[in-house]
Amino acid sequence: MPTIPYKLPTSPFKRLIINNAVIGGTSISWELQSQFCDPGPYEFTVQQANDPASDNWEDVNNTPATDVYAIILDTVRRIYDSEFRSFYRVKLESEKGTYISDPAPVTGVWSKKDWLTARQIIKKERLRFQKYVGKYGYLWKKRIFGETCTDCTDFVTQEATNSNCSLCFSTGKKYGYYPPVAIYADMIQPVSLNSVSGKGMHNDMTATARMVAYPYMETEDIWVDVSSDRRYYVGAIQPIASIRGIPIVNQVELRLAPSTDKIYELDATDPYQGELSSSSSNSSSSLYIDPSLSTNSIWVSEQGNIPIWP
């Protein structure tokens, strides 16, 4: 019986390199793992979405590129916002199966050396969280794109009108948040103080947390402290470590949601699970995966489970 000398990485992709062009003309290239040896031909399809956790990826090249090493030019303009919310991933179809790369943002390109350095820093940072100081939690990414909530959106303006809506959780988008991913936070506990001001009685408990910049986070995402089930809205995000302008570690403002907030009813299952069961590639990618750590990414990305870093 043949023995396997080492564990193969779960993804055949090493990393994606994206040279962004705002008005169109973005080039996407990729590297495959040297250990990857599925029989050919390999058919590559580049996909784009406005959110890394999206369940609605659009094909950039309608006809798969066969056996190319790698450059696909996306001539369509994708960016219209100040956040540069555009992500690419590559789907590889070989004779043995279909593989999907981790989504990569368009925020910049690292050289191989930079990329390895970043990977080491993130690895050490995660080790520090896991072994010593981190609080284990989930990140729920807010849906910004997608189907409009059918229960509470205003007929004319398409705005959410009910902060207690069970379908969109006042995001205005159906199901409100993407399925959660696990992420540690090194937090400084917030001060609790009931006070009265121009907005009535309130207790704005704001914590500061040091967190790895991946998964990609945005204001109004939710981070949950698993042990206490306290749920926080993500506020300001300040990069505190970066390489060539690309953040690696962030200082994140976390604002405690009052216990009556609807987000306490969010659970960890994927609401789209049934609808997407026919498309396994889409469903597995609805969980966000670190864009710069393909080699060592061993996320458990089964539906309905919380992916866990080893």
Instruction: List contacts with another protein (CB under 8 A).
Output: 152, 154, 157, 159-165, 170, 172, 194, 196, 198-204, 220, 232-233, 235, 255-258, 260-261
Closest separation in Å from C-beta 242 to another protein: 26
Six token digits for residue 278: 């026919």
Closer CB to another protein, 28 or 165, in the complex: 165
For another protein, which is the closer residue by CB, 27 or 162?
162
Please, how many CA atoms are within 13 Å of residue 7, restricted to the half-sphere of its CB? 7
Supply the minimum distance, in Å, between the C-beta of residue 24 and another protein: 33
Question: How many Å apart are CA 248 and CA 210, to the nearest integer?
Answer: 11
Nearer to another protein, 192 or 278 (CB): 192
Query: What is the smallest separation between the CB atom of 151 and another protein, expressed in angstroms?
Result: 9
Cβ of residue 82: shortest distance to another protein, in angstroms?
17
**Nearer Cβ to another protein, position 152 or 293?**
152
Residue whose structure tokens are 């991946």 = 214
The verdict on whether omega for the bond into residue 215 sits within 30 degrees of 0, i.e. cis, is yes
Q: How far is the CB of 198 from another protein (least distance, A)?
A: 8
Nearer to another protein, 181 or 222 (CB): 222
Asked if residue 169 lies in contact with residue 197, where contact means CB atoms within 8 angstroms, the answer is no
With beta carbons less than 8 A apart as the criterion, state whether 100 and 286 touch.
no
Closer CB to another protein, 88 or 169, in the complex: 169
CB of 148 to another protein, least distance (A): 13
Assigned token pair, 141? 């990414």
